[in-house]
Amino acid sequence: MAHRIQNSRVWEERLAQRNFVQEGVPASAFTSKPPEGVTVVSLSWGLPDPDLFPVERFAQASERVLRREGRQALQYGGSASVTHLAEWIAQRVARFGIQASSADVVVSNGSSQGMDLLARLLVDERDEVWVEAPSYFGALRIFASAGARLRAFPVDGEGLIVDAVREALQEAAAGKRPFPKLFYLMPNYHNPADCTLSRTRLEALAELAQTYGLLLLEDGAYGELCFSPEPLPALKALAPEQIFYMSAFSKTLAPGVRVGWLIGPSGVADRLRDQKVDGATSGLVQAIVAEVLRGMDFDAHVQQLRQRYQQRRDALVRGLKESLPPEATFVLPSGGFFVWLQLQEDTDVEANLPQALAAGVDFVPGSAFYLAPDRAAGAGRSSMRLCFSYSPIDKLEEGARRLGMLLSGFPRTTAL
């Protein structure tokens, strides 16, 4: 026992022995504290507006489910409502052009678990997984934890630059570089860049997937939250056998229910379900969500969300246009929760976060959305993600004003 006494917290020693890079920044990293007495307008948290959660419907649905089918809903496997929910999801995704039966729908704990199931099923240590740059940090964490080697491909205002992927696939097919097990991407309302893949690129990517047998994981987290009258088709609609599609109720009903779904190519659903190592996705919660959906006009609800988030986008954008220095640029988001702001190249956004907090505004530094080696080389250093979904309109305008004043005086670095 004597060798242990040096450090009573043995787990810290074991942790220090780990030798892999934990890619992706945990969400807890964004809760920086402002100086005392400063009230911050938060533009950092990617949270839905809690006033839009159908709380009363959940209260009533919970009671009804427990009284009507409590014994089954609380059992392993859940009640028949589990099947009803899968049927509802299969019908809903048809509006994005996805053909699926309830048996094809793998219900998961949020869409995060969908990614994890796929990583468990497909990814061996040191396999390549390709992602976008920037990308959603939660996904980077999941694939890196599975032991994948991540390689990032740039996006611009029209989404993923598909020509760069084509070139890499040609090299991989010629044996000059490893072929990826999977490509993870957000075709619509990207987090953080809030770009949307143009129709031309969408078609080109679907064709590449078919030509090279490339598997893609399409993240449709914000797919319902478009600011156009009609939702955009999913990439999966164009190449169903190459694409896994995932989404969740996190942005439409409430993230706290932790109910999402993954729909893969034909025949894979049971293999994905077999990867669950956490017992199950709660049958009780699935039954309550199914009951909530049964009693509501979901289209009308989503319409209300779109209007609210579009008003907030407009408020933030208005404030930014009035206050930002001319060198700051962004693409107008056509859905989702975020504005991705690009500053002059020699700006070090992360270094200036304490100053921003002192001025009463916060954001997520762009570097958080890049892979560690790219971050070290300066990727994302002069960008920031601003979230418009959470704060009310007057706060968004005020936040934009504070940010504008601050950016005009941001100290610059000379070397990148």
Please give the residue ranges that form the binding site for ligand PLP (CB under 6 A).
46, 110-112, 136, 138, 186, 191, 219, 221, 248, 250, 255, 260
Nearer to ligand PLP, 273 or 318 (CB): 273
Residue 339 CA to residue 404 CA, distance in Å, equals 14
- Encoded amino acid at 256, one letter: G
Q: Which of 326, 126, 131 is CA-nearest to residue 219?
A: 131
Q: What residues have CB less than 8 Å from 228, skipping those under 6 apart?
A: 334, 335
Nearer to ligand PLP, 336 or 404 (CB): 336
CA separation, residue 18 to residues 10, 13, 14, 197 (Å): 13, 9, 7, 38
Q: For the chain, give the longest Cα–Cα distance.
A: 69
Q: What is the Cα 397 distance to its own chain's centre?
A: 25
Nearer to ligand PLP, 52 or 406 (CB): 52
Q: How near is the Cβ of 149 to ligand PLP at its closest, in Å?
A: 21
Q: How near is the Cβ of 111 to ligand PLP at its closest, in Å?
A: 4
Q: How near is the Cβ of 36 to ligand PLP at its closest, in Å?
A: 30
Residue 59 neighbours by CB distance under 10 Å: 12
Q: How near is the Cβ of 9 to ligand PLP at its closest, in Å?
A: 31
Q: What residues have CB less than 8 Å from 101, skipping those under 6 apart?
A: 90
Q: How near is the Cβ of 408 to ligand PLP at its closest, in Å?
A: 30
Both tokens of 277, joined, read 């190592």
Nearer to ligand PLP, 370 or 410 (CB): 370
| Per-residue 3-state assignment (H helix, E strand, C coil) for 331-367 | CCCCECCEEEEECCCCECCHHHHHHHHHCCEECEEHH
Q: How near is the Cβ of 250 to ligand PLP at its closest, in Å?
A: 4
Nearer to ligand PLP, 246 or 328 (CB): 246
Residue 101 neighbours by CB distance under 10 Å: 12
Q: How near is the Cβ of 334 to ligand PLP at its closest, in Å?
A: 15
| Per-residue 3-state assignment (H helix, E strand, C coil) for 88-137 | HHHHHHHHHCCCCCHHHEEEECHHHHHHHHHHHHHCCCCCEEEEEECCCH
Q: How near is the Cβ of 17 to ligand PLP at its closest, in Å?
A: 30
Nearer to ligand PLP, 330 or 337 (CB): 337
Nearer to ligand PLP, 184 or 410 (CB): 184
Q: How near is the Cβ of 363 to ligand PLP at its closest, in Å?
A: 16
Helix axes 81-92, 55-73, angle to 10 degrees: 130
Q: How near is the Cβ of 258 to ligand PLP at its closest, in Å?
A: 7
Q: How near is the Cβ of 114 to ligand PLP at its closest, in Å?
A: 8
**For residue 387, what is the enclosing H or E element?**
strand 383-387
SS3 state of residue 416: coil
Q: What is the Cα 115 distance to its own chain's centre?
A: 11
Confirm if 196 and 190 have CB atoms less than 8 A apart. Answer: yes
Residue 227 CA to residue 387 CA, distance in Å, equals 16
Burial of 313-352, coded b for 16+ CB within 10 Å and e otherwise, reads bebbbebbeebbeeebebbebbbbbbbbbbbeeebbbbeb
Q: Shortest Cβ contact with ligand PLP: which residue?
A: 110
Residue 153 CA to residue 350 CA, distance in Å, equals 22
Nearer to ligand PLP, 186 or 315 (CB): 186
Nearer to ligand PLP, 191 or 382 (CB): 191
Nearer to ligand PLP, 74 or 331 (CB): 331
Nearer to ligand PLP, 138 or 264 (CB): 138
